[in-house]
Amino acid sequence: MAVSDEIGALTRAFSGLGIDEKSLISILGKWHPEQRNSFRKGTRNFFIEDERQFERWDDRHIIQLEREFLRFKNAMLLWTMHPWERDARLAKEALYKGPQYGVLIEIACTRSSEELLGARRAYHSLFERSIEEEVASRVGGIERKLLVALLSSYRYEGPRVNEEIAKTEAKTLCNAIKNAGKKPAIEEEEVLRILTTRSKLHIKAVYKHYKEISGKYLDQDLDAELGLKETVQCLCLPQTYFSKVLDDALKTSVDEITKETVTRVIVTRADADMKQIKEEYHQKYGATLSKKIEDVANGNYREFLLTLVARGDQ
Amino acid sequence: MATLIAPEHASPVEDAEALRKAFQGWGTDEKAVISILGHRTATQRQLIRHAYEEIYKEDLIKRLESELSGDFEKAVYRWILDPTDRDAVLLNVAIKHSPIPDYRVIVEISCIRSPEEFLAVKRAYQIRYKRSIEEDLASHTKGDIRKLLFALVSTFRYDGNEINARLANSEADVLRNAIKEREFNHEEIIRIVSTRSKLQLLATLNHYKDDYETSITKHLVDGPANDYLVALRTAIRCFNDPQKYYEKVIRNALNKPGTDEDALTRVIVTTAEKDLEVIKELYYKRNTVSLHKAVGKHTSGDYKAFLRALLGKED
């Protein structure tokens, strides 16, 4: 390979999600000191000219590299964890790093009642606090109400749905949304009550009735509302939510918090609804999820993701 | 300490047969019902139900409902239910109470049970009513009382021993500030009372008393006379000293003209296998008459006999 090609391959090995360890070994492994010197001089974006006349690694890149090297390890840890510990740790991180309310909503709304309960128990063990007391004391305002209620929920999961009540509640939502200009829907007690206490089947029925009454989709109408759109999507259309979130994250130019979405979603959904997420993704974005992962991820991390994603094919 | 007097070994089959005999013929032999059911533990009562169902292909509870009546029937019904099921039924009755829900019962059960016990109650509620207690409660309440009760019912508190003293101190101040500003329904009050672990909350309440020389409930009496504040004070009393709280409920139930049988039944049935003995002592200390005597004076008939059986030893 010509030197310029090799440099290109090296740069590629360091970019995207995870590290292409094989390329690093096969290229860097055989380079003599002069070649490594040319590499340092030739790649301005990794190395900077130090005032004392030598090429120094750019600190930001070292941090970046650390993250990418650790991406596989973090995926391993997350994958081998008990789902309860996994969700508890993800919630803790989401609360302390960011904070990322979307992740909290995701966990609260896409897990089953028993899974969410398990996560809350694990949280007690790991952090000696309840998740609701942590969220309540760290989040203020209207988001607090929504998040605490969602994370504390223990929804009925049986088949019984009262269609009359679902219809009435769809009307309530309709009115709240119409009135959103004067008072945001998220500040309406009734909106929160319906979305945070009703069973998922019931809310799906509300979703259906909402479409019949207003001609529009509830989640689309909640576009401007803090967290409510994600709440409805996670409760009613989790695959739509997950495929969107993956598409946003499978890019090289996004921040670290967004990149971590890829590991989180694929690890937590591999045994749940990965098949449906792949179908939805293909439908919405044209490309297959696997191809997108191949384009954007590297090395062991990539192989691991692809393996998990392929599990849905059984 | 429990007051229930039950034999160590009882034969569920014999008990089922004896109950069947009590139902036969004209009327019911209530004394027999009391002498058996009034002296069996929760496990023993479960076994009797199973045995009765096996032998007579009939639900013992349904049979009791048709054979007995009035306050006696209500008491036996609540007594024979499995404790978690009982709490679920009590909660449902409280929520559906008219004209307004019986807030006190909801606060009492959600605050006195341990997190795991209350979780089991929520499950039992879902199985029985095919809805979650949260959705029923939320749809029957609104405003501040909804906020508080909903939070108390949804929470799954940490139940370990870790206490953060600095946090207890700062949250005691937060409570004080909200109360000083007369913002009794302040988000922070609800947050602290409904999410912190019981031990952490007690530490906070103790700091409050140390720093401000009065217990928080006395400061909360100053507010407007509304259901929310009553519920908040009840919650705090339940955390601080459940037995003292229960004694007061019984005392009020007996002193009320006409006697509040529902409250009396609820407390006795709920605590007979737990700490009714302590409550009896508290009652005697407070009223200089034994609970046995007081119940004897304010109730009558089979209902009275049943309660006194559950009250155990008369001293």
Which of A120, A129, A198 lies closest to B135 in CB terms?
A198
Cα separations in angstroms, B109 against B89, B117, B242, B267? 11, 10, 10, 11
pLDDT confidence bin for B33, thresholds 50/70/90: very high
Please judge whether A137 and B142 are an interchain contact, meaning their C-beta atoms are less than 8 angstroms apart: no
Strand partners, A48: A56
Q: Report phi then psi at B97, rounded to 5.
A: -55, 140
**Residue from B110, B134, B140, B188 whose CB has the most chain A CBs within 10 Å, to mutate:** B134
Interface of A with B (CB under 8 A): 117, 120-121, 124, 128-130, 132-133, 136-137, 144, 148-149, 152-158, 160, 189, 193, 196-199
CA distance B148 to chain A (A): 12
Q: Do B135 and A197 touch (CB under 8 A)?
A: yes
Kindly state the tokens that stand for A150. Answer: 């969602």
Lowest mean pLDDT: which of A42-46, B172-176, B277-281? A42-46
**What was the pLDDT predicted at B204?**
96
Percent of chain B topping pLDDT 70: 100
Domain count, chain B: 4
Would you say residue B130 lies in a domain?
A: yes
Q: Do B20 and B54 belong to one domain? A: yes
Distance from CA of B175 to the nearest CA of A (A): 13
Lowest mean pLDDT, pick from A252-261, A282-291, B260-269: A252-261
Q: What CATH number should be reported for the domain holding residue B116?
A: 1.10.220.10
Q: What angle do CA A48, A51, A53 make, to 5 degrees?
A: 80
Taking a contact as any Cβ pair under 8 Å apart, which residues of chain B between 50 and 109 contact chain A?
none
Residues of A in contact with B195 (CB under 8 A): 130, 132-133, 136-137, 148
Spatial contact of A176 and A188, defined as CB atoms under 8 Å apart: yes
* Rounded Cα distance, B315 and B298, in Å: 18
A160 — pLDDT class (breaks 50, 70, 90): very high
Question: B29 burial class (0-12, 13-18, 19+ CB within 10 angstroms)?
Answer: middle
Domain hosting residue B45, numbered range: 12-80
Q: Please indicate if the annotation marks B25 as binding a ligand.
A: yes
Residue linked to tokens 């032998």:
B55
Count other C-beta atoms under 10 Å from residue B300's C-beta.
Answer: 12
Q: Please judge whether B156 and A129 are an interchain contact, meaning their C-beta atoms are less than 8 angstroms apart.
A: no
Closest residue on chain B to A134 (Cα) = B195
Phi, psi of A182 (to 5 degrees): -85, -40
Backbone angles phi, psi at A90, to 5 degrees: -60, -40
Closest CA to B309 of B285, B292, B288: B292
Give the long-range contacts of residues A65-73, CB within 8 A, separation 24 or more.
Answer: A65/A14, A65/A19, A67/A256, A67/A259, A68/A14, A68/A16, A68/A17, A68/A18, A68/A19, A68/A298, A69/A19, A71/A17, A71/A18, A71/A19, A71/A259, A71/A263, A71/A301, A72/A18, A72/A19, A72/A299, A72/A300, A72/A301, A72/A304
Q: Is A248's pLDDT higher than 90?
A: yes
Decide if B156 and A120 are in contact by the 8 Å CB cutoff. Answer: yes
* Structure-block tokens of residue B90: 């009590």
Residue B314 lies in a domain: no
The SS3 of residue A69 is helix
The complex scores an ipTM of: 0.82
Partner-chain contact B162 A130, CB within 8 Å: no
B276, B264 Cβ separation under 8 angstroms = no
What mean pLDDT do residues B120-124 have? 97
Nearest to A152 among B130, B156, B187 (CB): B156
Is B131's CB within 8 Å of A160's CB?
yes
Phi, psi (rounded to 5 degrees) for B191: -55, -50
Q: What number is the average pLDDT over the span A1-29?
A: 83
- Say if residue A159 is exposed, middle or buried (CB neighbours under 10 Å; 0-12, 13-18, 19+): exposed
Is B58 marked within a binding site? Answer: no
Q: Is the pLDDT of residue B142 over 70?
A: yes
Check pLDDT > 90 for residue A255: no
Contact B197 A129 (CB under 8 A): yes
Q: Are residues B76 and B92 in the same domain?
A: no
pLDDT at residue B46 in the model:
95
pLDDT of residue B224: 82
Residue B18 lies in a domain: yes
Residue B313 lies inside a defined structural domain of this protein? no
Q: Which CATH number fits domain A86-237: 1.10.3720.10, 1.10.220.10, 1.10.630.10, 1.20.120.140?
A: 1.10.220.10
- The answer to the question of whether B258 is labelled as a binding residue is yes
Beta-ladder partners of A54: A50
CATH number of the structural domain A240-313? 1.10.220.10
Q: Is the backbone of residue B233 left (phi > 0), alpha (psi -120 to 50) or beta?
A: alpha
Judged by DSSP in three states, A243 sits in helix
DSSP string, A172-189: HHHHHHHGGGTS-GGG-H
- Is residue B293 a known part of a binding site? no
pLDDT score of B36 more than 90: yes
A133 and B138 within 8 Å at the Cβ level: the answer is no
Residues forming a β-bridge with B124: none
**Residue of B236, B235, B269 whose CA lies nearest to B104:** B235
Residues of B numbered 181-200 whose beta carbons fall under 8 angstroms of chain A's beta carbons: which are they?
Answer: 187, 191, 195-197
Same domain? B205 vs B171: yes
Could you tell me if B105 and B116 lie in one domain? yes
Task: Classify A103 as helix, strand or coil.
Answer: helix
Q: Is residue B7 part of a domain?
A: no
Could you tell me if residue B24 is left (phi over 0), alpha (psi between -120 and 50 degrees) or otherwise beta?
beta
Residues B275, B276, B277, B283, CA torsion sign: positive
**pLDDT for the residue A1:** 61
B150–A144: do the CB atoms touch at under 8 Å?
no
Alpha carbon of B156: minimum distance to chain A alpha carbons (Å): 7
Question: Residue ranges per domain, chain A?
Answer: 3-57, 86-237, 240-313
Chain B contact set for A108 (CB, 8 A):
none
Residue contact B139–A197, C-beta within 8 A: yes
Q: Considering the domain boundaries, does residue B115 fall inside one?
A: yes
The span from the CA of B313 to the CA of B315, in Å, is: 6
Pick the residue of A133, A169, A188 with the most B CBs within 10 A to test the interface with B by mutation.
A133
Of A1-15, B80-94, B256-270, give the lowest mean pLDDT range: A1-15
DSSP 8-state symbol, A26: I
**Mutation for testing the A interface, residue in B122, B156, B196, B200 having most A CBs under 10 Å:** B156
* Structure-token match 């591999």, residue found: A270
Q: What integer is the mean pLDDT of B170-174?
A: 95
Side-chain-side CA neighbours of residue B44 (13 Å): 20
Q: Residue B4 domain-assigned? A: no
**Cα of B66 to nearest chain A Cα, Å:** 29
Q: Do domains A86-237 and A240-313 have the same CATH topology?
A: yes
> In what helix (H) or strand (E) does residue A85 lie, and over which residues does it extend?
helix A83-96
Q: State the count of interchain CB pairs (< 8 A) between A and B.
A: 82
B149 and B179, same domain (yes or no) = no
Q: How far apart are CA B251 and CA A119, in angstroms?
A: 42
